[in-house]
Structure 1
Amino acid sequence: MPNDPSIQIEPERPAVGALLRAARRSRDYTLQELSSRSNLSIGYLSQIERDIATPSLGSLSKLAAALSVELGHFIPIPNARGLITRAKDRDTIWVREGGMTYERLHGEFVGASFSAFLITLPAGFTTETDQHFGEEFVEVRSGRVLFDVDGQDYDLGVGDTLHFRSDLRHQARNPDLQETVLFWLGNGPKFQSRPDITAEQQS
């Protein structure tokens, strides 16, 4: 069959695990060194590199900072769209096919301090256990989610909300056979270089 020049086929992107391993080795970091720099456990880093575990955007941000690379090194990051996002063409981000998806709601401007997403958890999906600076607010838009925050369990249904400090260990799980959609607001990873960050500050 002749090739149709009007059809653009993007090359398959390497898995996150392979990209992380290559970046780590290019800097001659051991798993121990990367663990110390990123504050993620050696065992968890090993699972990410073998594509057993799917890291959250927060963990990928920590790894990008530890390796002095952009978050876009690991996953495609859409360009900023200014102050407004239209429902019909919002950017959707994912780390690995079959994992969580993040639909970006927040805008981009100098001094912005939080991020907002619609997060979809596939049926039976469990997030990593996370702990970081800041706070988070979650509202269940559809489905059900079980949150563990600092050892306390919260069973949330449609319309329920949860607001907690992010420095408490936390994890979410979708226990059902249908996907769960959450509205999430918090101190999340920054996907773009802010206009107020100069090249010298990034180096």
Structure 2
Amino acid sequence: MSPEANFKLDAERPAVGALLRAARRSRNYTLQDLSTRANLSVGYLSQIERDIATPSLGSLNRLAAALSLDLGHFIPIPNARGLTTRAKDRDTIWVREGGMTYERLHGEFVGASFSAFLITLPAGFTTETDQHFGEEFVEVRAGRVQFTIDGQVYDLGVGDTLHFRSDLRHQAVNPHDEDAVLFWLGNGPTFQSRPNIAAEQPS
């Protein structure tokens, strides 16, 4: 996948950490309050607010739900593309430049039960440790990635796959000097254009 992103953050848009802190304080939530609502640790939330940690789209979705906000409050959300995505004009999304990038593959329709992305892990990048409802399937398309699932390490190369329950603690790391590209499929908390889907719901 090209390192050139089709979808870039507005340089004048506040960082995710500042947006999260402002939203939390406007509701008079403590970090512990938000931790309980989003099922994320206080320490991790503090790191996000200080822009030390870069949350995944799944964690941002959980934070948005905990604050009764749309995901678009934290990152610009591209318009839905319907049922088909063309390789030449897919949206590439990132939370912060230099972190993971997500190229959306799934369509948008009422009742969709999973999401699919091409995910690029930059050289030397380590994801957050996560644990949530659902299941995930990963195929390595380029590079190598080490996944830790419930304490067990899986070293994956091109063509290797991994399928696991998301309620097991999981983390991915790219310890190598080249980017890794993953095909990811899952039905846990991920990126969805909730306003567009809601608009299709019957009244």
Q: Same fold (TM over 0.5)?
A: yes
Q: How does 1:81-100 map to 2 (within 5 A)?
A: 81-100=81-100
Residue 55 of structure 1 aligns to a residue whose secondary structure is coil
Q: Is the 8 A contact 1:48 1:55 kept in 2?
A: yes
Q: How does 1:18-167 map to 2 (within 5 A)?
A: 18-167=18-167
Instruction: Give the letter aligned to residue 192 of structure 2.
Output: F
Q: Is the 8 A contact 1:116 1:185 kept in 2?
A: yes
Aligned mates of 1:153, 1:82 — CA distance in 2: 37
Aligned mates of 1:11, 1:123 — CA distance in 2: 24
Q: Extract unaligned runs of 5+ from structure 2.
A: 1-9
Query: What is the CA distance between 1:197 and its match in structure 2?
Result: 3.2
Q: Is the 8 A contact 2:138 2:185 kept in 1?
A: yes
Deviations 1:71-116 (A, max 9, x none): 0000011010000000000011100000000000000011100000
Residue 140 of structure 1 aligns to a residue whose secondary structure is strand
Q: Extract unaligned runs of 5+ from structure 1.
A: 1-9
Q: Is the 8 A contact 2:109 2:197 kept in 1?
A: no
- RMSD across aligned positions (CA): 1.8
Query: What is the CA distance between 1:190 and its match in structure 2?
Result: 4.1
Rg: which structure is higher?
1
Residue 112 of structure 1 aligns to a residue whose secondary structure is coil
Query: What is the CA distance between 1:196 and its match in structure 2?
Result: 5.9
Other-structure match for 1:17 = 17
Query: Percent sequence identity over matched residues?
Result: 82
| Structure with larger RCO (C-alpha < 8 A, sep 6+) | 2
Aligned mates of 2:126, 2:191 — CA distance in 1: 23
Aligned mates of 1:11, 1:146 — CA distance in 2: 32
Aligned mates of 2:72, 2:57 — CA distance in 1: 11
Other-structure match for 1:5 = none
Q: Is the 8 A contact 1:109 1:194 kept in 2?
A: no
Aligned mates of 1:96, 1:139 — CA distance in 2: 24
TM-score of the two chains, using structure 2 as the length reference:
0.91
Aligned mates of 1:56, 1:33 — CA distance in 2: 20
Residue 138 of structure 1 aligns to a residue whose secondary structure is strand
Aligned mates of 1:107, 1:198 — CA distance in 2: 15
Instruction: Give the letter aligned to residue 59 of structure 1.
Output: S
Aligned: 1:174 with 2:145: no
Aligned mates of 2:170, 2:192 — CA distance in 1: 22
TM-score of the two chains, using structure 1 as the length reference:
0.91
Aligned mates of 1:182, 1:129 — CA distance in 2: 17
Other-structure match for 1:197 = 198
Residue 102 of structure 1 aligns to a residue whose secondary structure is strand
Check 1:98–1:64 CA distance in 2 against 1; reply closer, same or farther (3 A cut).
same
